Amino acid sequence: EAQVTQNPRYLITVTGKKLTVTCSQNMNHEYMSWYRQDPGLGLRQIYYSMNVEVTDKGDVPEGYKVSRKEKRNFPLILESPSPNQTSLYFCASRYRAETQYFGPGTRLLVL
């Protein structure tokens, strides 16, 4: 089954404690991206990757890092989380301009 998986699905952490949210897709897609969803703001792109070792900033990259060492994986790293990063995060992948597939989401609370 074609899918995008994210882990963990729910996470509560404290300010400053580094965390990683994993994302994996099994469709051999070149393009992957991370979004955050906040009420009234829709989805905003954090980072995206057009292929292995090729990443670029989206609209709201501050406080986040990513890496793309393998085609299937695109982890999101928060080196020093802050409360304003409390949000719902989605990973997504697609092949060029085709349909974008979303993961189930990771709900993060930073205390």
Least distance (Å) between residue 26 CB and another protein: 16
Q: Residue 74: how many CA atoms within 13 Å on its side-chain side?
A: 32
87 binds another protein (CB under 8 A): no
Residue 29 lies near another protein (rule: CB under 8 A): no
Residue 24 near residue 72, CB atoms below 8 Å: yes
Would you say 68 or 94 has its CB closer to another protein?
94
The window from 19-27, 69-77, 79-87, 91-99 that contacts another protein (CB under 8 A) reads 91-99
CB of 40 to another protein, least distance (A): 6
Contact between 72 and another protein per CB under 8 A:
no
Q: For the chain, how are helix, strand and coil distributed in percent, rounded to 5?
A: 5, 50, 45
Task: Evaluate whether 25 touches 39 at the Cβ level (below 8 Å).
Answer: no
* 8 Å CB contact between 30 and 96: yes
Out of 60, 94, 108, 110, name the contact with another protein by CB under 8 A: 94
- Residue 62, interface with another protein (CB under 8 A)? no
- Residues 6+ away with beta carbon under 8 Å from 71: 28, 29, 30, 51, 52
For the bound state, the minimum distance from the C-beta of residue 84 to another protein, rounded and expressed in Å, comes to: 18
